[in-house]
Structure 1
Amino acid sequence: MKDFTLRIIAGANIATIVVMLLIGYSDRVNPTNHPLIANLGLLFPVLLIANLAFLAFWLMFRVKWAAIPVAGLVLGFQPIRVYTPFNRNPATPQGSIKVMSYNVFNFSTWTDTSEPSEILQYIKRQNPDILCMQEYGTSGRKHEIVDSTLSAMYPHHSTANAQDGGDEICIYSRFPIADKENIEYTSKGNNSAAFHVVTAKGDTTIVVVNHFETTGLSLDDRSKFHAMIKGDIRNREAERESRRLWHKLGEASAIRAPQADAVARYVEQHEGRSIILVGDFNDSPISYVRHRLASVLNDCYVASGNGPGISYHYNAFYVRIDNIMCSDHWTPYRCHVDNSIKASDHYPIICWLKRG
């Protein structure tokens, strides 16, 4: 009976590995044609944790069968490394530049302008050489304070708006900004732009700032998702809500895919140029969007970060959706998501880059 039970558990372990691998490599599937497959990557950590639990079980009860989950970890090494990389952290070499990407949520948690902005104080402390922000747009007194504070720190800055209004993205730089190009794609209010930054004498780097299509979930949708995670919504209602939310997420993924394709084509058209790409992808590490852009650039977090690097932290959606990537002209060091500041629904992502 014991033998039979262990064989059943082994079968469950193998099934878990198969599903984990299918989900782990689902980022190759274009959501335009298969929108409901697009968000399977959100389930990847669940399967990974389950496989690790099987590993612990076999080590306790049948050591030789631990080869099953170990084989799963080996076969799934690539998506595991993408989702939660582990790297040595060598010292940042002299001459590196510090790059920060931060979705600042329109500074919406800063409600009293008679008090200092937590985000602005944080930026002052971090003092990046190139600062890129998404959801940057503000107005009135807020705009005056933000503009005067950052302009005192940075001699160069530029902004870009979505074609039909909506999101504003920006770059503040210690280096001159020689030119700006909007990267055209269809969007309800999100956008991407390429800023030509003179990072050294006779050397221009194209800094591409992105804010891809949002998830399409309203505040009510997110609060319902949070309630489901907590178990406050049960049975048929939970099943209906899950199906509805999954469809909405799929629809948003189908919009983001052509946006990522447009940016990837822009990068390919500028092959051989020095490029730094940053932004809020609104998609998980196991996604077509990240995979498509990582196929033309190096993912700095995967190359030099550690752990899952969760950058979005509202309403139980805990996932890394903010990214920094670069061309082979740069070597990334100590890329990390800083969860010490909670003044936005995102945490900032920071990386040091050394020109090779």
Structure 2
Amino acid sequence: MKSLGRLIIHLILAINVLFIALMLLSAYSPYIEPDKHPIQSCLGLLFPVFILINISFFIFWIIVQYKLALFTFIGFACCYTQIRTYIPVNFSNSDPPKECLKVLSYNVMGFNNLKLTKGENPILAYMKDSKADIICIQEYAYSQDKRYVTQKKIEQYLQAYPYKNIQNIGEKESTNKIACYSKYPILSSTVLRYKSAYNGSVRYELKVKNDTLTLINNHLESNKLTKEDKVIYEEMINSPEAQKVKSGSKLLITKLAEASAIRALQARKIHNEITSSKHKYIIVCGDFNDTPISYTHRIIAKGLKEAFTESGTGLGISYNQNKFFFRIDNILISKNFKAYKCTVDHSIKDSDHYPIWCYISKQQLKPI
């Protein structure tokens, strides 16, 4: 019986080591170039799954044979940075200084498809009440029909913002727009051109008191999932039958991999814009359509800090449809900024994204 018990323990340990290896592979998958290895680069999507499985193993070993929990502990230690990026915990709740900016980034889904309820639009009301200094908007839209959200209606809500810039992104026939509303002067705006039918990025120069900062507002390549694809995914989650999961996974992974490869090129373009900025203060925000454990996120975030990792808590899930529980909206800041109280705000559900906002202030870097 003892030998059988040892055999079972060794078998469980072997399975545990396998999942530790898979966790590490997913944690470091952002170093795989999606345009060269698109399928493998999607492994980061499974990072939270492998985390949960290994937590279960860790608890099991603590109860059954605590010394063997060391294997899982070492695995967690090897991907501590990725765990903190994915699900940060910040106990400090210090108030931002008076001299700071509040930045809001929001994919508004065309202001909920331009809908008005009794003449009002909840997304515009939210923005008005946010008291943000800078608002970056993705999937900006308006109608000429007064029964829906018009440009005039938007400006009535956002009259506290004397400076605005609205740009079409994507190819010529695209009607997708990105916008920036600011309490500070927008000195210039440049659409960053890269291959995409409907998506794009815009770089702004903003004059904020005595400083000029670079702001890049992004709406990167979507995952090309149709409504039918999203239904398939939701059915897989609700009823994980073997055949359904197998066929559904193959379809979804193929589409996710294709989009990931396109975003890789976009991410490099954005990173080049960041590194070539002539201004020392930089903010990069928007809908990345990719998770914190991804090549896209890693490339864009090079040399920057993630506001949510620095001052947020939890998963920060920012997409709220079809059980795609991921944080795909971001605010990144240069290292001479400090972030406070970064929040993915779940109080409003009128878009398929939640807004993300934070306070940022200048930070004096210590000399090396």
Q: How much does 1:296 deviate?
A: 3.1
SS at match of 1:214: coil
Amino acid at match of 2:249: S
Q: What residue is the counterpart of 2:366 in the other structure?
A: none
Answer with 326-335 or 206-215: which moved more: 326-335
Summarize the alignment of residues 3-14 of structure 1 with structure 2, pairs less than 5 Å apart.
3-14=6-17
Alignment partners' CA distance in 2, 1:181 and 1:100? 20
1:355 maps onto 2:362 in alignment: yes
1:241 maps onto 2:252 in alignment: no
1:28 maps onto 2:37 in alignment: no
Contact 1:150 / 1:172 at 8 angstroms: preserved in 2? no
SS at match of 1:64: helix
Summarize the alignment of residues 53-202 of structure 1 with structure 2, pairs less than 5 Å apart.
53-87=56-90, 88-108=92-112, 111-140=115-144, 141=146, 142-144=149-151, 146-162=153-169, 163-164=171-172, 165-201=174-210
Q: How much does 1:235 deviate?
A: 3.6
Q: How much does 1:90 deviate?
A: 2.2
SS at match of 1:135: strand
Q: How much does 1:154 deviate?
A: 0.8
Q: How much does 1:99 deviate?
A: 0.4
Answer with 102-111 or 20-29: which moved more: 102-111
Cα gap change, 1:168 to 1:226, in 2 (>3 Å): same
Alignment partners' CA distance in 1, 2:293 and 2:47? 8
Q: How much does 1:110 deviate?
A: 5.7
Contact 1:256 / 1:289 at 8 angstroms: preserved in 2? yes
**What do you get for the CA RMSD once the two structures are aligned?**
1.6
1:334 maps onto 2:333 in alignment: no
Q: How much does 1:328 deviate?
A: 2.1
Cα gap change, 1:174 to 1:119, in 2 (>3 Å): same
Cα gap change, 1:271 to 1:289, in 2 (>3 Å): farther
Q: Residue 234 of structure 2 is aligned with which of 221, 226, 232?
A: 226
Q: Residue 318 of structure 1 is aligned with which of 315, 321, 325?
A: 325
1:217 maps onto 2:225 in alignment: yes
Post-superposition Cα deviations, 1:253-275, rounded to whole Å, max 9, x if no partner, equal 11111111001001111165211
Q: What residue is the counterpart of 1:205 in the other structure?
A: 213
Q: How much does 1:234 deviate?
A: 3.4
Alignment partners' CA distance in 1, 2:112 and 2:104? 20
Alignment partners' CA distance in 2, 1:144 and 1:179? 21
Answer with 140-149 or 222-231: which moved more: 140-149
SS at match of 1:186: coil
Q: Residue 301 of structure 2 is aligned with which of 294, 297, 302?
A: 294
Alignment partners' CA distance in 2, 1:148 and 1:321? 28
SS at match of 1:15: helix
Contact 1:120 / 1:149 at 8 angstroms: preserved in 2? no
Alignment partners' CA distance in 2, 1:334 and 1:230? 34
TM-score calculated relative to the size of structure 2: 0.92
Percent identity at matched positions? Answer: 36
Alignment partners' CA distance in 2, 1:197 and 1:67? 51
Amino acid at match of 2:302: S
* Equivalent residues, number: 354
Post-superposition Cα deviations, 1:15-57, rounded to whole Å, max 9, x if no partner, equal 1111100110000111111111222111100000111111111
Post-superposition Cα deviations, 1:202-236, rounded to whole Å, max 9, x if no partner, equal x11111100001110011111111111111x7343
SS at match of 1:228: helix
SS at match of 2:39: coil
Q: How much does 1:111 deviate?
A: 3.0
1:269 maps onto 2:269 in alignment: no
Q: Which ranges in structure 2 are unaligned for 5 or more consecutive residues?
A: 364-368
Alignment partners' CA distance in 1, 2:48 and 2:153? 38
Q: How much does 1:101 deviate?
A: 0.3
Alignment partners' CA distance in 2, 1:175 and 1:338? 24
SS at match of 1:241: helix
SS at match of 2:95: coil
Post-superposition Cα deviations, 1:285-332, rounded to whole Å, max 9, x if no partner, equal 111110001113221112222111110110111100000011123111
Q: Which ranges in structure 1 are unaligned for 5 or more consecutive residues?
A: none
TM-score calculated relative to the size of structure 1: 0.95
Alignment partners' CA distance in 2, 1:254 and 1:211? 15
Alignment partners' CA distance in 1, 2:18 and 2:242? 25
Answer with 69-78 or 108-117: which moved more: 108-117
Answer with 156-165 or 128-137: which moved more: 156-165
Q: How much does 1:143 deviate?
A: 1.8
Contact 1:264 / 1:296 at 8 angstroms: preserved in 2? no
Alignment partners' CA distance in 1, 2:117 and 2:279? 45
Q: Residue 350 of structure 2 is aligned with which of 326, 343, 348?
A: 343
